[in-house]
Copies of this chain bind each other. A is one copy, B any other.
Amino acid sequence: MNLDRYLARRQQQVERFLERCVPPGSDTLTEAMRYSLLAGGKRIRPALAVAACETVGGDVVRVMPFACGIELIHTYSLIHDDLPAMDDDDLRRGRPTNHIVFGEAVAILAGDALLTEAFRIMGEAAARAGTRQASAIQALTEIAAAAGARGMVAGQVADMQAEHSAVDLPTVEMIHVRKTGALLRAAVRAGALLGGARAPALRRLTRYGEFIGLAFQVADDILDAEGTTATTGKRTGRDQARSKATFPAVLGLSAARQRAQDLLASAVRELQSFDHRAEPLRAIARFVVGRACPK
């Protein structure tokens, strides 16, 4: 199995499906939605959902609407995070942020529309899910819970409130489990559920998702602290400038890097009982941490 080629092929499938989620149109709203959705992100969340589905021998076609629904939700959260009232960022994925190009009002609405369309797309898929209908509804509901008032949005509020105040490690973890971890975990679980995972496999994959969710945020924090705009495509050093609650801020860079490696090891350990079909999940875990901890 050529893992790189495999992952590239999956990536292409995701891009094609995303393209169909918001088809081209001549109106400003469509243009603004596509501007941010099709800006060539890493597509970690869809990749996790697809790979989790394959790990348990599921059919990738079933999981694609959910994998991409999660990416629409992730994209809306980036657009809203970048707004002047929030993080006030002007650069994302190497390009001007949505509100810089389309104005604040359209950026807010483009985010709202992406979030809403995600549920339309997942709802339509659930309607066609046949014998997997119960799993499809569970996936949709878990994704909403992970993105909502006790998940991602709660994490964003806690993150804002922690700015410029002294925070400890448990607080940083609590913020990041919600802000980033919940949706990454939901991506893995959605893939596993739609792939037909039985309870023990689902439990192991859930723990994998939790470890990888936290590892992802530790790596992101490290990249913000020491990456450059050229390598990350966004302004770096912003966390420190705003005294954000980050892992490097409470642990120091070196211990944060060790933490990311430990989380990677824990994530991969959860995959021990799975066969070669878990290779993509192992590769994604290494990639997530490798970005911030080069060999």
Contacts and interface: CB of A to CB of B under 8 A. Distances in A.
Interface in A103-152: 103-106, 108-109, 111-117, 119-120, 123-124, 126-127, 133-134, 137-138, 140-141, 144-145, 147-149
Contact of A116 (B28, B83, B115, B124): B115
Copies in the assembly, this chain? 2
A232 interface: no
A106 to B, nearest CB: 7
A293 B138 CA distance: 46
Interface stretch (A6-14, A153-161, A265-273, A280-288): A153-161
A138 B106 CA distance: 29
A177 to B, nearest CB: 15
B80 A148 contact: no
A109 B156 contact: yes
Q: Number of contact residues on A: which range applies? A: 35 or more
A116 B118 CA distance: 10
Contacts of A28: 157, 161
Contact of A138 (B108, B115, B127, B147): B127
A85 interface: yes
A29 interface: yes
Contacts of A29: 149, 153-154, 157
Contacts of A145: 120
B123 A157 contact: no
A80 B106 contact: no
A166 interface: no
Interface string A249-276: 0000000000000000000000000000
**Which among A80, A111, A141 has the highest number of chain B CB atoms within 10 Å?**
A141
A93 to B, nearest CB: 21
A4 interface: no
B113 A148 contact: yes
A10 B133 CA distance: 32
A23 B161 CA distance: 21
A128 to B, nearest CB: 9
A17 to B, nearest CB: 16
A33 interface: yes
A140 B123 contact: yes
Contacts of A116: 115, 144, 147-149, 153
A22 interface: yes
30 contacts: A27-B154, A27-B157, A28-B157, A29-B154, A29-B157, A30-B149, A33-B149, A80-B108, A80-B112, A85-B103, A85-B108, A86-B108, A105-B160, A108-B108, A111-B112, A113-B148, A113-B153, A114-B149, A116-B144, A116-B147, A116-B153, A117-B148, A117-B149, A119-B140, A120-B144, A123-B144, A126-B140, A126-B141, A127-B137, A133-B133
